[in-house]
Amino acid sequence: MANGANGATAAKPAAVAVAGAAVIGTSAVLIRLSGESSATVAFFRCAGALPVLAVLAWRERSACGSRSNHGWSLLAGVLFGVTLVLQNHAIAALGAGIATVLGNLQVLFVALAGWALFAERPSGRWFLALPPALLGVLLVSGALEDASVTVTGTGILLGVLTSAAYAAFMLTTKRGQRTGFPHVVGPLAEVTGTALVVAALYGLVRGDLHPAPSWPAWGWLLLLALGPQCAGWLLITASMKRLPVALAALILLLQPLVAVVLGAVVLGERLSAGQLAGCVVLLAAVLFAGPASRGRTFLRPGPPLRAPRPGPDPAP
């Protein structure tokens, strides 16, 4: 799986990222079908994926040798686990719609930080695509149509913190990839293992971690682990090695689109006219921003917002 992803990524990294975002977008439906608590979902999505990733990482190590950038992967795993925890609280405080909108503000944080840290300066196409993409997320989420949700300062703060943690996770992952090692699966396995520990601690503190889910909940959680957590994030992390981090962040905005469409197909949820319009706007914006089929780059290199320090940065 890893070798195939790497080969496809070298040719069409944006297409691989879109495929990864589509797979990760199935998470919401699988979580709802499982009917389990947020702590249980977070724990088993990592626990189910870890054995597969460990075997693939062992094969990758045999082919590529060892590496020394473990610190970045472990930090990214903590941030990923924190993102899952904050997202659950934001949804509880604001509802899924508004929480989705605020969580996807990560694209702004990622773009600005990627410009400052990695000298990846957004082009005019990116700036043109961003407003309609965010509008599409807003429409797809249904936040404008849900009058039953009371917006609180605490909820807004949780949503923004979710977005910041998600952005920090992506940036840390990208920074680890810039250390020169070709590995993809090994870092993801470490991210998943660390997030597993965070999820377990979170579940033990809250007291809602179910160690033995019943069937068919276990089956849905296994699909969540093997699909979004394993295959989806393998595709995303592989593509991030060859894509500017801001383009990867923009492509990940396709997740809510996949979630609402799949919810309509699998769960029989009714899509409003606003959500359908949001799907069209969001998809058009992402296609406009990254026309990979023509071989054009999404971001053009430019000077960083601040001068980089000489020499390699030490791993945390």
pLDDT in tens, 85-100: 888 788 777 766 677 7
Rounded-to-integer distance, Cα 215 and Cα 34, Å: 9
For residue 301, the cross-strand partners are 120
Rounded-to-integer distance, Cα 72 and Cα 177, Å: 9
Whether 277 is in a domain gets the answer yes
Whole-number percent of the chain with pLDDT over 70: 84
Whether 309 is in a domain gets the answer no
CB atoms < 10 A from the CB of 182, how many?
A: 13
Task: Give the total number of structural domains in the chain.
Answer: 1
112-136 residue pLDDT tens = 888 888 888 877 888 898 899 889 8
Tell me if 213 sits within 8 A of 44, measured CB to CB.
yes
Q: Is the pLDDT of residue 30 over 70?
A: yes
Whether 25 is in a domain gets the answer yes
Question: CA 160, 108, 306 angle in degrees (round to 5)?
Answer: 115
Whether 103 is in a domain gets the answer yes
241-255 residue pLDDT tens = 888 888 888 898 888
162-220 residue pLDDT tens = 999 999 999 998 888 876 777 889 899 999 999 999 999 988 988 888 888 888 999 99
Whether 140 is in a domain gets the answer yes
Domain that holds residue 230: 20-301
Whether 47 is in a domain gets the answer yes
Whether 315 is in a domain gets the answer no
Q: Is the pLDDT of residue 292 over 80?
A: no
Helices of type H across 142-184? 153-177
Residue type, 252: L
- What crossing angle do the helices spanning 153-177 and 233-240 adopt, rounded to 10°? 60
Residue with tokens 């799949």: 262
Which backbone phi and psi does 149 adopt, to 5 degrees? -90, 130
Whether 2 is in a domain gets the answer no
